[in-house]
Amino acid sequence: MSAPSTTLEIAGNVAHIRFDNPAAYNALTGQMWREMRDHARAIAADPSIRVVTFRGVGGKAFVSGTDISGFAKFTDGSDGIAYEHGIDDCMAAVDELPVTSIAIIDGWAVGGGLNIAAACDFRIATKDARFGSPIGRTLGNCLSPMSLQRIGGAVGVPVAKRMVLLGEIIGAEELHKSGFLLDAVERDALDERVAEICVRAAENAPLTTRATKEMLRRMSLENLPEADDIVSQVYGSEDFRRGVEIFLSRTKALPEWQGR
């Protein structure tokens, strides 16, 4: 079995980023996050590329979140701040892509997977795909302002609250109706539908695409509030340590949160 990785393949004017860790439902290791960032920056520097797709390997998940084994080594809130800043840095590279980005979701897109899908311009999913960010039921951590703004802007604040505050997992049919998904199709129709959108997006004037994306990014993700104090409080809490311990134990029990 190969080591977990995020790979890049370029075919003509379309780049394909793939998350390859199927044994863990494509949970992203720190190295995979950084590889995604570096691939996105390489694409941004290549004027021949017009479209980029993001997809998980294996057919069971897009990305199921972050590999949280490293969380067990956190000693205080400063570790959480560093982690969230690192995720923001990786995600910023996706936000700043000057080409049309498409998330291809067959299976689970939760946690970091939801974040990456939300950063893309379009999302095409199988009808059995599932989306969410149930961190309040599992780990007891929190998201950065940038992640909250990105996800809330894509799915809508009421749906984002259902995902985070209630821990709901929401299906592709509902998110297609809401507009979050461009399309929800049967598995055997997924590749053909993606190919159609890639061709159409590649035909668009590149300067129009670049300008529109950059203006939207500035409107939605610049001038966000500073929240390191909030992030530190959560990641430095007893609840977070307990949540990580229980999650890694694989007992499937819900933590008994104490609010401290």
Supply the CATH number for residue 178's domain.
3.90.226.10
pLDDT at site 252: 78
Q: How far apart are CA 167 and CA 1, in angstroms?
A: 33
**pLDDT tens digits, 8-51:** 999 999 999 999 999 999 999 999 999 999 999 999 999 999 99
User: Is 249 among the domain residues?
Assistant: no
pLDDT at site 1: 63
- Whether the predicted pLDDT of 145 surpasses 70: yes
Provide mean pLDDT across the span 95-110. Answer: 98
- Whether the predicted pLDDT of 250 surpasses 90: no
Q: How far apart are CA 159 and CA 184, in angstroms?
A: 18
User: Is 217 among the domain residues?
Assistant: no
Provide mean pLDDT across the span 101-123. Answer: 98
pLDDT at site 121: 98
Provide mean pLDDT across the span 172-182. Answer: 98
Range of the domain at 14: 5-189
pLDDT at site 136: 96
User: Is 234 among the domain residues?
Assistant: no
Q: How far apart are CA 65 and CA 35, in angstroms?
A: 15
User: Is 93 among the domain residues?
Assistant: yes
pLDDT at site 253: 82
pLDDT at site 114: 98
pLDDT at site 2: 83
Structure tokens at 178: 């809401």
- β-sheet with 183-185: strand ranges across: 5-11, 14-20, 51-56, 100-105, 122-126, 183-185
- Whether the predicted pLDDT of 64 surpasses 80: yes
Tell me how many domains the chain contains. Answer: 1
**pLDDT tens digits, 191-210:** 999 999 999 999 999 999 99
pLDDT at site 187: 96
Q: How far apart are CA 128 and CA 115, in angstroms?
A: 19
User: Is 212 among the domain residues?
Assistant: no
Over the chain, what is the mean pLDDT? 97
pLDDT at site 12: 97
Q: How far apart are CA 53 and CA 62, in angstroms?
A: 12
User: Is 76 among the domain residues?
Assistant: yes
User: Is 81 among the domain residues?
Assistant: yes
Provide mean pLDDT across the span 67-73. Answer: 93
222 sits in the region (left: phi over 0; alpha: psi -120 to 50; else beta) called: beta
